[in-house]
Chain A
């Protein structure tokens, strides 16, 4: 797959002396959905803002579809659409006027058919003549997405697109992102809802204190760092774990009625069969078993916290 966005040694130190980005290298592939994860203040928004031209980089370079974002900013920016994190809209404008404005601003000649398509896709068509100030927060968010799509960008940045939106809109948003990908649009999103990245992303990047610590296919990341968990529902609750089970890292949960065993899913020997045999020998009866993979969220938390410990 070809690279649509190439970030080389990109760094940013603000005038206050705060280093928001240490030199970052990242290639985004044409047509993928890339999720950028990281705690608050990690540098996600700074990274996006530099690529979109809102923040001036301190060093490094970015090519958007082959165009340097500084030297050839017009061509680069025409390819990029941005939906920022903060809701910022022109309250007094109508939906239609503001979306038309965005298309013109990005150097595209008027195309009412495209605008109608975008507004319909976002369920905004009925509201097209309403003033933005009369819309709900979720609708305003849709308006911002419509503005970002008005000029038919090839790369779309969604900075926390679903922060503070209801479940329905979030689902709509996911559907929209998938449709965009089908049309060949590359989507880069930041999110706090790891569930969202897990659901949507092809690849995941984790950024921490201005450093990109992991960039990986989501599935590979989950396989590599994922743990599995076996939950054994006991017939009779235990007060403590018998000493003969010491070979397994077990935990008691739900007031002693569940035994939890975490294991490495990739290991040849998961340790499950001997554990079950041992339970049988001890006469510990169980009603149910289930295994569960750790979520991207667990992986993310462990990644970020491991690094914190390492840094400390």
Chain B
């Protein structure tokens, strides 16, 4: 590993810089998702949830918790990581990163690591908020934590790609708004795909988010909509694709270097 990470000071400098950005706005960063999640609980947990039957033996309010955490995890990882690399491109300060003795691996670890750290913290804060509203039960806590971290890392990696690709602030918003939000909402945050008609259920299986939410919900309630191994395969596959694209970006200098 030491041969791969020859510049630990550089890696640490970027990581700290990114975390400092997060800490400067820590209250906004934490409060926004906490408020929006609380609203979901008020609306879906209390107002509507009381009229809903239990899902696989879990009260509805508790049933939506893993999905809501995933929803935040996707969007926050994506936007944090994409903003982290896009902003220096926008302001021109990227010159320093490009001229530094920092390897692509070190840069990615630092940027993605910082973005993932923030998302994991947010995920845990939402989990804590949720526990105020609904009785929570976590069947596989280590698996839950592992999935939380790995999903955050994967979507941060994806966000890094979006940030390198984006040529403007609009493009930064496109992927989270146009792709992630609909996929997440239709990915079973608020329902089990078992509830859908067979046609919609089959259709839903094309949505990768279904697999991620299903696996995460399994770690809470020991029940998965789809096979756990398939879910993990999806997550690993998506991670591998993102890692390959990032490698390609650095090899070709795509949108970073002339």
Chain A interface residues toward B at CB < 8 A: 14-15, 49, 52-56, 73-78, 80, 82, 84, 86, 88-93, 97, 100-109, 147
Contact status A104-B13, CB under 8 Å: yes
- CB nearest to A76 among chain B residues: B101
Q: How far is the CB of B152 from chain A (nearest CB, A)?
A: 24
Q: How far is the CB of B54 from chain A (nearest CB, A)?
A: 48
Contact status A14-B258, CB under 8 Å: yes
Cα(A166)–Cα(B98), bound, Å = 30
Q: How far is the CB of B13 from chain A (nearest CB, A)?
A: 3
* 21 A-B pairs (CB sep. < 8 Å): A14-B258, A15-B258, A53-B99, A54-B95, A54-B258, A56-B257, A74-B103, A78-B101, A82-B95, A84-B95, A88-B91, A89-B93, A90-B93, A92-B21, A100-B13, A101-B13, A102-B13, A104-B16, A107-B7, A107-B9, A107-B10
Contact status A102-B96, CB under 8 Å: yes
Residues of A within 8 A of B253 (CB): 56
Cα(A76)–Cα(B102), bound, Å = 12
Contact status B10-A105, CB under 8 Å: yes
Query: What class of interface size applies to chain B in its complex with A?
Result: 20 to 34
Interface of chain B: mostly helix, strand, loop or mixed: helix
Cα(A82)–Cα(B17), bound, Å = 20
- B42 close to chain A: CB less than 8 A: no
Taking a contact as CB atoms closer than 8 A, the residue among B12, B24, B98, B101 that contacts A106 in the complex is B101
Residues of A within 8 A of B16 (CB): 101, 104
Chain B positions 101-148 with a Cβ under 8 Å from a chain A Cβ: 101-103
- B97 close to chain A: CB less than 8 A: yes
- CB nearest to A80 among chain B residues: B99
Cα(A103)–Cα(B100), bound, Å = 10
Q: Which 7 A-B pairs have the closest CB atoms?
A: A104-B13, A88-B92, A74-B101, A77-B101, A52-B99, A107-B7, A104-B9
Cα(A32)–Cα(B101), bound, Å = 24
Contact status A92-B99, CB under 8 Å: no
Contact status A109-B9, CB under 8 Å: yes
